[in-house]
Chains A and B, each alone.
Chain A
Amino acid sequence: MKVNFVVLDDSEDIEDHSLLYSIEDKYDKVHFFNNPNEGLEFIKENLSLNLIVLLDIEFSESDKSNGHKLLDEIYKSSALIPVILWSGINQTEEEFSDFINNHAFGFLSKDSTIEESMQIIDKAYIQLKTSLDNTIEDWIIESNEDKDKPIYISTEGKSYSLNNILYEIRSQTEVGKEFAAKLNALTIDLLLRGKKEL
Chain B
Amino acid sequence: MVRSEEKTITFNFDVSAYRLLGRELITDRITALFELVKNAYDANARNVTVEFQDINPLTNNSKIIIKDDGVGMKFSDIQNKWMVIGTSSKRRERLSPAPFYRKVSGKKGVGRFAVDKLGDKLVLRTKKKGATELICLETDWSYYSRLEDNQLKLDFEEKKPFFTDVENRYWFEEGSEDQQGTILEISSVNEVWSKDDINRAYKELSKLVSPNSEVQPQYPFNIKIKAPYEGFEDRKVKLQLIDFATKKIDLSYNKLNNTQEILQHDKGGLKVINVPPRPCGLLKLHIYYFDQEAKTKYKKHFKTDIDGIKIYRDGIITTPFAEYVANQEKQKDILGLDKRRYSGFFERFGSRDLLGYVEISDEQNPNIVESTNRQGFVDNEAWEELRKLIIEQIVQLESYYKYVRKVDREVTKSNLGGANKDLKSLKKDIASIKKNASPQVKEKLRNIEVNLGKIQGSVNKSIKDYAKLEKESKQKENLFFSLVSLQTYAAMFSHMTKHTIGHILTSAEYFHKNYPNPELEHRFLKIAKNIYKEMLKLRKGVDFMLKYAKSDTDLEEINLRELVLNLFYDIYQDRFVEEGISTIVDIKEDLILNYNRKAIEDIFDNLISNSIKALKGMEDKVIKCSSITTSNDVTILFSDNGIGIKEEDKYRVFDIFFTKTAEEGGAGMGLYMVKTRVEAMQGEIEVAENELQPNGATFRIKLPFKK
Residues of A that sit less than 8 Å from B by CB: 10-11, 13, 16-19, 21-22, 25, 60-62, 88-89, 109-115, 117
A88 contact set on B, CB distance < 8 A: 495, 498-499, 502
Say yes or no for B583: interface residue by CB 8 A criterion: no
Per-residue contact bits, chain B 157-191, to A (CB 8 Å; 1 contact, 0 not): 00000000000000000000000000000000000
B residues near A109, Cβ cutoff 8 Å: 498, 502
Across the interface, B616 reaches (CB within 8 A) one of A18, A22, A61, A117, namely A61
Interchain Cβ contacts within 8 Å, total number? 63
Residues of A within 8 A of B230 (CB): none
What CA separation (Å) do A67 and B530 show in the bound complex?
25
* A16→B510 contact, CB < 8 A: no
- Chain B residues closer than 8 Å to A89, beta-carbon distance: 495, 498
Q: A89-B495, A111-B498 are in contact. Are A13 and B530 (CB under 8 A)?
A: yes
Size of interface on B: residues with Cβ below 8 Å to A: 25
* Chain B: minimal CB distance from A67 (Å): 15
From A11, A25, A109, A111, residue with most partner B Cβ within 10 Å = A111
Contacts of A13 in B (CB 8 A): 503, 530, 533
| Subset of 10 A-B contacts with CB under 8 Å | A11-B578, A21-B510, A62-B580, A62-B619, A88-B502, A89-B495, A109-B498, A111-B502, A113-B506, A117-B506
- Known contacts: A111-B505, A112-B502, A114-B513. The answer to whether A16 contacts B526 by CB under 8 A is yes
* New contact pairs (7) apart from A17-B506, A18-B507, A62-B579, CB-CB < 8 Å: A13-B530, A16-B530, A21-B520, A88-B495, A88-B502, A114-B506, A114-B513
Lowest 3 CB-CB distances: which A-B pairs, in order?
Answer: A111-B502, A18-B510, A110-B502
Contacts of A114 on B, CB cut-off 8 Å? Answer: 506, 509-510, 513
Nearest CB of A to B642, in Å: 11
Inter-chain CA distance A111–B616, complex, in Å, is: 26
Task: Give the Cβ gap from B613 to chain A, nearest Cβ, in Å.
Answer: 10
A112 to B509, CA, bound (A): 11
* Distance of A62 Cα from B642 Cα, bound (Å): 13
Nearest CB of A to B495, in Å:
6
Q: Separation in Å of the A152 CB from the closest CB of chain B?
A: 27
Residue of A nearest to B523 (CB): A21
B527 lies within 8 A of chain A by Cβ = yes
| B579 A60 Cβ-Cβ under 8 A | yes
Is the pair A61, B495 in contact by a Cβ cutoff of 8 Å? no
Chain B 548-591, CB-CB to A under 8 Å as 1, else 0, gives 00000000000000000000000000000011100000000000
Q: Is the CB of B495 within 8 A of A111?
A: no
Measured CB to CB, the closest approach of chain B to A68, in angstroms, equals: 14
Provide the residues of chain B in CB contact with A113, threshold 8 Å. 505-506, 509
Q: In whole angstroms, what is the CA distance A21 to B530 when docked?
A: 13
Q: Is the CB of B526 within 8 A of A19?
A: no
Q: How far apart sit A186 and B107, CA to CA, in the bound complex (Å)? A: 59
Q: Is B617 an interface residue when CB atoms closer than 8 A count as contact?
A: yes
* Interface membership of B501, Cβ < 8 A: yes
Provided the pairs A60-B580, A62-B580, A114-B510 are in contact, do residues A17 and B495 lie with their beta carbons within 8 angstroms? no
Scan B494-527; emit 1 where CB is below 8 A from any A CB, else 0: 0100110111011101100110000010010011
Interface centre among A11, A61, A113 (most CB of B within 10 A): A61
Chain A residues whose CB sits within 8 angstroms of the CB of B501 once the complex forms: 111
Q: Which residue of B lies closest to A111 (CB)?
A: B502
**With contacts A13-B530, A16-B530, A62-B579 known, is A110 near B498, CB below 8 A?**
yes
Most interface-central of B499, B520, B530, B617 (chain A CB within 10 A): B499
Within 8 Å by CB of A61, from B499, B514, B520, B579, lies B579
- Residues of B contacting A117 with CB < 8 Å? 506
